[in-house]
């Protein structure tokens, strides 16, 4: 408003990582400054993505109807910027302003490597395409003077930068996913969670995976540092089990402690090992006593992480990654959970795995989710194994709610009797939720594979209706 009051009628939004947050400002300019010219310039890294994980070609397409010009600036030197431009299409005037090469730090001072003549020589041919050129970080008056001299010369080639092919761009590849194919069969798929070990002794864990597979598990899920405590890496374990046990694996990928580079490395590594599905979660925060030593990193939330993996599906992965997410059916304000779930689905999530259904609230919220969400839903089944276990879950584990009567049912029972009760209660829950879910997500307490195997066997033999 202040610029408009001063008579400004040209606006540049530069170094942007996304476009959507600019819409209100652009709408305001259109309302208050008739004939204003608006340019939006995106900061894009070498992989064609902004730091928000968004693909620049899609950002160009999103911005084009609302702006008068597009731009690219920062994060890359002239050679990288020219290479990026070669891959893009645009139908608005384009402004390109790279950095003066790559940054380096000497002492406490950041400097850039590209000399003025090199900067100008590499960048000047863009003008043959009608592109406006300039400089961003590290450029000096000498860089701009050198660029000006090159543009005044008549002997540089007009065809140094070829026109992109008309059909260039990214093609969405969507072959069948083996896990998604499970939902097409008559019986409901069974996903079983096997928590990763805290040490490098993975042989017992692999043995448990094999026992669960033999007992009828269709997919093994592996949590990512649950409750913020360090465990063996979920993605590495999933790749190991997929190769050694020929098992469909679903690693959880938490946003905590992983920046975009780490996420891309994990996802491409999983795909290379034949693991083409993952579950994205925001991740529990690091425990309070650890925070002085362990710093948490959150570059994403689960919705944005799902969207970023869709970008990787379109740009990097030969076989796309099927993305799944979590749904807290125990939340007191379930309207918020439904809104977040719809955002996840809009960003490519195909399956939602719920928290354990152990209360009337959980059941009613699952019914709502079944009615309102356009995706597959796996109902969370947690076999409570003791009175102490029930009280701990109710009082110390976020996201879990138990009917008050449950803990009392276990009073005075020995282990065998408690497991028999856990089996009966789990089957009761499965019958109650059967009409409102597409499969089962069975969580394994205290590595009790035999109990989980009994539940799977009984569920297979029982008419859930």
> What is the per-residue pLDDT for 170?
38
CA distance linking residue 73 with residue 465, whole number of Å: 60
> What is the per-residue pLDDT for 255?
83
CA distance linking residue 182 with residue 352, whole number of Å: 15
CA distance linking residue 445 with residue 392, whole number of Å: 12
Radius of gyration (C-alpha) of the chain in whole angstroms: 27
Which SS3 state, helix, strand or coil, does residue 439 take? strand
- Non-local CB neighbours of 251 within 8 Å, separated by 6+ positions: 221, 222, 224, 234, 235, 237, 238, 270, 275, 278, 279
Which SS3 state, helix, strand or coil, does residue 301 take? coil
Of 118, 99, 98, 119, nearest in space to 110 by CA? 99
CA distance linking residue 96 with residue 19, whole number of Å: 17
Of 70, 71, 91, 90, nearest in space to 81 by CA? 71
Question: Which domains are delineated in the chain?
Answer: 2-152 (3.20.20.330), 178-461 (3.20.20.220)
> What is the per-residue pLDDT for 161?
43
- Residue by residue, DSSP assigns 6-32 as TT--EEEEEEES-SGGGHHHHHHHHHH
- Residue by residue, DSSP assigns 116-162 as HHHHHHHHGGGGGGT-EE---TT--HHHHHHHHHHHH-S-S-TTSSP
> What is the per-residue pLDDT for 294?
53
> What is the per-residue pLDDT for 464?
65
356 forms beta bridges with 380
> What is the per-residue pLDDT for 293?
56
Place of tokens 């939602």: 352
Helix H or strand E encompassing 97: strand 94-97
Backbone dihedral angles phi then psi of residue 29, each to the nearest 5 degrees: -65, -45
**pLDDT (tens digit, 9 = 90+) per residue, 303-312?**
888 988 988 8
> What is the per-residue pLDDT for 164?
45
CA distance linking residue 320 with residue 317, whole number of Å: 6
> What is the per-residue pLDDT for 162?
44
Residue 74 contacts residue 48 (beta carbons within 8 Å) = no
How long is the chain? Answer: 465
CA distance linking residue 431 with residue 368, whole number of Å: 17
Residue 124 contacts residue 203 (beta carbons within 8 Å) = no
Instruction: Please give the model's pTM, rounded to 2 decimal places.
Output: 0.75
CA distance linking residue 77 with residue 66, whole number of Å: 28
351 forms beta bridges with 324, 376
Sites in the chain below the pLDDT cut of 70? 154-175, 227-228, 284-299, 463-465
**pLDDT (tens digit, 9 = 90+) per residue, 47-65?**
888 888 888 998 999 999 9
* Sign of the CA dihedral with 59 first, then 61, 65, and 70 last: positive
> What is the per-residue pLDDT for 71?
96
């Amino acid at each position: 408003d202040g610029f408009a009051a001063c008579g400004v009628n040209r606006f540049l939004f530069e170094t942007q990582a996304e476009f959507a947050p600019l819409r209100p400002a652009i709408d305001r300019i259109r309302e208050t400054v008739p004939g204003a010219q608006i340019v939006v310039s995106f900061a894009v890294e070498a992989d064609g993505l902004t730091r928000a994980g968004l693909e620049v070609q899609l950002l160009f397409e999103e911005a084009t109807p609302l702006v008068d010009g597009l731009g690219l600036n920062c994060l890359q030197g002239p050679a990288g910027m020219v290479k990026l431009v070669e891959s893009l299409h645009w139908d608005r005037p384009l402004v390109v302003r790279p950095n003066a090469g790559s940054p380096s730090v000497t002492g406490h001072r950041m400097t850039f490597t590209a000399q003025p003549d090199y900067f100008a020589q590499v960048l000047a041919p863009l003008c043959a395409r009608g592109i406006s050129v300039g400089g961003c970080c590290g450029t000096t008056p000498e860089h701009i003077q050198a660029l000006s001299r090159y543009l005044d010369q008549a002997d540089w080639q007009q065809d140094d930068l070829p026109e992109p092919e008309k059909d260039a761009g990214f093609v969405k590849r969507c072959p069948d996913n083996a896990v998604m194919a499970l939902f097409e069969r008559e019986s409901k798929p069974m996903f079983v969670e096997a928590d990763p070990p805290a040490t490098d002794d993975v042989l017992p864990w692999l043995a448990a995976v094999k026992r669960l597979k033999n007992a009828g598990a269709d997919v093994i899920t592996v949590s990512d540092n649950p409750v913020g405590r360090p465990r063996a890496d979920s993605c590495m374990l999933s790749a190991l089990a997929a190769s050694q046990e020929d098992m469909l694996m679903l690693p959880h990928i938490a946003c905590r402690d992983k920046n975009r580079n780490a996420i891309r490395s994990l996802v491409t590594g999983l795909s290379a090992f034949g693991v083409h599905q993952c579950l994205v979660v925001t991740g529990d925060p690091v425990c309070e006593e650890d925070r002085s030593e362990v710093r948490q990193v959150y570059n994403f939330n689960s919705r944005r992480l799902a969207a970023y993996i869709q970008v990787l599906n379109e740009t990097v992965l030969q076989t796309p990654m099927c993305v799944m997410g979590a749904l807290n059916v125990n939340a007191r304000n379930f309207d918020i959970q439904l809104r977040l779930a719809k955002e996840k689905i809009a960003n490519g999530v195909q399956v939602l795995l719920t928290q354990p259904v152990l209360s009337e609230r959980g059941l009613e919220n699952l019914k709502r989710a079944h009615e309102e969400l356009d995706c597959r839903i796996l109902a969370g089944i947690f076999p409570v194994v003791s009175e102490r276990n029930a009280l701990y879950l109710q009082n110390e584990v976020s996201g879990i709610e138990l009917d008050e009567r449950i803990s009392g049912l276990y009073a005075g029972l020995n282990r065998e009797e408690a497991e028999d009760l856990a089996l009966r209660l789990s089957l009761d829950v499965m019958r109650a939720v059967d009409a409102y879910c597409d499969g089962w997500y069975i969580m394994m307490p205290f590595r009790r594979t035999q109990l989980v195997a009994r539940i799977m066997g009984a569920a297979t033999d029982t008419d859930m209706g």
